[in-house]
Chain A
Amino acid sequence: MAELASLRPDLAVIARQVPPGVRVLDVGCGDGALMAALQQSRNVDARGIEIDPDLVERCVARGLSVVQGDADRDLAFYPDGAFDVAILSQTLQTAARPDRMLAELLRVGRRAFVSFPNFAYWRMRWALMRRGRMPVTRHLPVTWYETANIHHMTVKDFEELTAQLGIAIENRWFFTADREVGAAGANWRAEYALFEVRTARARPVP
């Protein structure tokens, strides 16, 4: 389980939550650290999508099944319910349409783990209020004109979106730096959040 211990905290939570032997799609799988850990510790059938060719190459070189692709476009090619679990870690805020990506995620996966940076984290609010400029932080270190994060959101925004889309929230975890924090005041206190969601009722995405 050495690999699990070295995972980013949100990924470590996901790795603990995924049941053994299931089919997993990791959207935006990066260098495949989570997939590798899941295959070793949970014996899952893991597949990945990653947009960066250098990261895809590293995944394939370590024996993982990863497709170079754009989640905005390529999720459409997977059949309904092809996976037991779909994972979208720190990627939703880069989507052209986060609402559609979330719906696609829960079309191909029976349930999903979604993590994202919380733009209402108090350091963000403080930096914006004090300096009047888009915050550059430890967790979001790239300037506004270079960042791939084109749809910043908050914990409240995400919860509201799930309600609109008819998505049920099964579980939620919050993190600051490398620690898990409680749910109280999470929209202030959490630097990033992780949600486990599933489709509650069908509702078309506008």
Chain B
Amino acid sequence: MTAAAPSHSYALPGPLPLDGGQALEGAAIAYQTYGELAADKGNAILVCHALTGDQYLASAHPMTGKPGWWERMVGPGKPIDTDRYHVICANVIGSCMGSTGPASPAPDGKPWGMRFPVITVRDMVRGLVALLDGLGIERLHAVVGGSMGGMQALSLAANFPERAARVLAIATTARHSAQNIAFHEVGRQAIMADPNWREGDYYGHDSAPDAGLAVARMAAHITYLSEAGLTEKFGRRLQDRSAKSFGFDADFQVESYLRYQGSGFTRRFDANSYLYITRAMDYLDIAEEHGGKLADAFTGHAMGRGARFCLVSFDTDWLYPTAESRHVVHALNAAGAPVSFVELSSPFGHDSFLLDVPALDRVVKGFLDG
């Protein structure tokens, strides 16, 4: 684990056009890099983070002190080898770790709050591409991401086909399903039902909508795990007690775990960012952006041109199940794009992409080095 380093910040030179019709003026993107950029700038890999992720990919998080969220995958000698590649990870717009989002000051000097424009995954990608422009990187060796990071990787491939030679999308989807939207709506309603939310205008107050945000995180966290994984980890075991209390304390270990996850999350994440980013994910439908047919989104990658793709799903992921990856693979087949796909077996559900799955390491390394 390397020590926490302050992020670089890139001020966008012009307004960032948004799918909602507005443009974001004066936006900044916070990012981290690992490994040396080659003289020809041909060894850059952009890693896109998930919903509550950040740019601290392979270095300690400055607020929690915890290791980077993908240190097991990214580093010297790791599958994404920083001895070979220059790895870039940027905080998406709308988030709260240094890139412009609802907690950032609006032109009037006050926090944007709910005045911040609704953004999409494609808007996040526009921000990332603006950063690449700023860094002088015309064509990435690869764009890589899991979950929402995979959505950005696919969106980049669909909208900026010339910008990446390889696209690695893990545990992800090209569209949010009704069930995906439903879970997000539960989280958003929990935040907005918290009296401390104050219509999003809580930044100057002593209290933030932590209770609502914690509930949102708890509900979402369940979707990241598998039923078998939860059962193995907690079963019906009780928490620090030998009998049920006949009350509403956290009797069960799984309750205690979720409460801990929820409260820990509120210390590092902004509730309004959670609203905006979940909304962006719900709006994702890459086919819809390209006339309704997903294959048409990838015509820039037909035989012999464009990028090579690799999709990976996990057999216990019920949030973005294998069928969603297959849907993308079939569209890429129809578009004539070179694509690999494998469903890996792992007990950890959606979170598998972050956890110890040796087969994933082999696939990532083989795809990126091949």
- Is the C-beta of A65 less than 8 angstroms from some C-beta in chain B? yes
How many angstroms between the C-alpha atoms of A63 and B365 in the bound complex?
A: 9
B336 is contacted by which of A53, A60, A63, A79 (Cβ under 8 Å)?
A79
Q: How far is the CB of B108 from chain A (nearest CB, A)?
A: 51
Interface size on B, residues (CB 8 A): 26
B341 and A47: CB pair below 8 A?
no
Question: Counting chain A CB atoms within 10 Å of each CB, which of B310, B330, B341, B362 scores highest?
Answer: B341
- Is the C-beta of A69 less than 8 angstroms from some C-beta in chain B? yes
A67 and B338: CB pair below 8 A?
no
- Is the C-beta of B51 less than 8 angstroms from some C-beta in chain A? no
B342 is contacted by which of A47, A60, A63, A74 (Cβ under 8 Å)?
A60
A65 and B333: CB pair below 8 A?
no
How many cross-chain pairs have Cβ atoms below 8 Å apart between A and B? 70
How many angstroms between the C-alpha atoms of A56 and B310 in the bound complex?
A: 12
List CB contacts (< 8 Å) of B289-323 with chain A: 303-304, 308, 310
How many angstroms between the C-alpha atoms of A62 and B310 in the bound complex?
A: 13
Closest A residue, CB atoms, query B341: A67
Per-residue CB contact flags for chain A residues 35-75 toward chain B (1 = under 8 Å, else 0) read 00000000001010000010011011111111111000010
B333 and A68: CB pair below 8 A?
no
Q: How far is the CB of B80 from chain A (nearest CB, A)?
A: 14
A57 and B344: CB pair below 8 A?
yes
Are A68 and B341 also in contact (CB < 8 A) when A60-B367, A63-B366, A78-B334 are?
yes
How many angstroms between the C-alpha atoms of A68 and B362 in the bound complex?
A: 16
How many angstroms between the C-alpha atoms of A165 and B61 in the bound complex?
A: 64
- Is the C-beta of A82 less than 8 angstroms from some C-beta in chain B? yes
Per-residue CB contact flags for chain B residues 134-151 toward chain A (1 = under 8 Å, else 0) read 000000000000000000
Which residue numbers of B lie inside 8 Å of A, CB to CB? 303-304, 308, 310, 326, 329-330, 333-334, 336, 338-345, 359, 362-363, 365-367, 369-370
